[in-house]
C-alpha cells in the first residue's frame, strides 16, 4: 500500500493549487485516520525531497536520539522511537523513520567510539 500512496503523492504534487484543494476536500471525507496519517507523512517526505533534494529530517528528534544514546548505548532503537512518539510528539506513522534514524545515529556513535579507542591504543604503543 505504501508504494501506491507514494506514487499518488508524487502525482498530487504535480497538480495546480485549486486541484490540490479539491482533492484534499474530497479525500478527507472518505479516509480513515491511520490512512490519512500515512498519506500526510508521505506527502511531507515527498515535498521535502522535491524542494530540497534531500530526505525528511527533524533536528529536535535527532538531537534527542543522540543525547539518549550518549547516556545509554544499551537502549534499543525501537525503545528510542517509542520515546520520540511519546515525548517529542512525533506522529505514530513516523516511528519507522525514528527507528532508522536511531539505528544510523547509534552506528555512528559506535564507530566514533571505536576510532577513539583505536587512536588511544596507537598512542600508547
Range of the domain at 12: 2-52
Regarding whether 90 and 69 lie in a shared domain, the answer is yes
Q: Show the DSSP H helices in the chain as ranges.
A: 2-12, 17-30, 33-52, 59-71, 77-87, 95-124
The pLDDT tens digits for 10-56 are: 777 777 777 777 777 776 677 677 777 777 777 776 766 666 555 66
Regarding whether 47 and 14 lie in a shared domain, the answer is yes
How many Å apart are CA 21 and CA 74, to the nearest integer?
Answer: 47
Domain boundary among 52, 68, 92: 52
Regarding whether 74 and 120 lie in a shared domain, the answer is yes
Q: What is the total count of domains within the chain?
A: 2
Regarding whether 46 and 99 lie in a shared domain, the answer is no
Question: pTM for the whole thing?
Answer: 0.58
Amino acid at each position: 500500500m505504501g508504494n501506491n500512496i507514494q506514487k499518488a503523492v508524487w502525482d498530487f504534487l504535480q497538480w495546480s493549487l485549486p486541484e490540490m484543494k479539491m482533492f484534499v476536500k474530497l479525500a478527507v471525507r472518505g479516509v480513515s485516520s491511520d490512512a490519512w496519517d500515512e498519506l500526510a507523512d508521505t506527502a511531507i517526505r515527498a515535498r521535502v525531497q522535491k524542494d530540497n533534494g534531500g530526505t525528511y529530517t527533524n533536528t529536535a528528534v535527532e538531537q534527542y536520539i543522540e543525547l539518549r544514546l550518549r547516556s545509554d548505548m544499551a537502549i534499543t532503537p525501537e525503545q528510542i522511537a517509542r520515546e520520540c512518539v511519546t515525548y517529542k510528539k512525533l506522529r505514530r506513522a513516523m516511528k519507522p523513520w525514528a527507528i532508522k534514524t536511531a539505528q544510523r545515529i547509534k552506528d555512528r556513535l559506535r564507530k566514533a567510539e571505536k576510532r577513539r579507542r583505536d587512536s588511544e591504543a596507537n598512542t600508547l604503543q
